[in-house]
Amino acid sequence: MNTSTTNNGKTILCVDDEMTGLSVRKMLLESQGYRVLTAENGSDAVVLFSSESLDLIVLDYSMPGTSGHVVAEKMKELRPNLPIIMLSAYVDLPSETMALVDRSITKGEPPAVLLDAIAQLLRDRDGLCSKETRQNER
């Protein structure tokens, strides 16, 4: 696994029932210094989510069994500040789903779109965590 100081070993959970896309995203993110965990379905994703320290989720919308919407709902109930990016082949996701996630990306977008979204959400999250830590130290 490649590690890079620029990403400080941030851990990302990628969830997709399509193995090819999942493998490609894993390689892409690892090449950028991220630690990447993968799950092929919603049930496995929830187990990993509950047992691992994660910094961000990349979640497929349309999966057999437990849909990305249901998975995002469970995750946000447990950790509302953890960023979720929803991937979908569909251009327009339901507003209920969009309300649960921090960003939506259409599958087929160039890798830079995903990488930029991840970097921005992690920066935003780190800024929020730093602000909360400073407030708690007062």
Q: What is the DSSP string of the chain?
A: ----GGGTT-EEEEE-S-HHHHHHHHHHHHHTT-EEEEESSHHHHHHHHHHS--SEEEEES--SSS-HHHHHHHHHHH-TTS-EEEEES-SS--HHHHHH-SEEEETTS-HHHHHHHHHHHHHHHHHHHHHHHHHHT-
Only one residue has tokens 């965990």, namely 37
pLDDT band at 43 (very low <50, low <70, confident <90, very high): very high
Task: Report the distance separating Cα 56 and Cα 4, nearest Å.
Answer: 17
pLDDT in tens, 70-93: 999 999 999 999 999 999 987 788
**Residue 128: what pLDDT?**
63
pTM assigned to the model: 0.85
Backbone φ, ψ for residue 55 (5° rounding) = -110, -20
Give 100-113 pLDDT, tens digit per residue: 999 999 998 999 99
The fold for domain 5-136 equals Rossmann fold (3.40.50)
Structure confidence at residue 89 (pLDDT): 87
CA distance 48 to 53: 9
Q: With 60 as the cut, is the pLDDT of residue 136 above it?
A: no
**Regarding predicted confidence, which is higher, 2 or 25?**
25
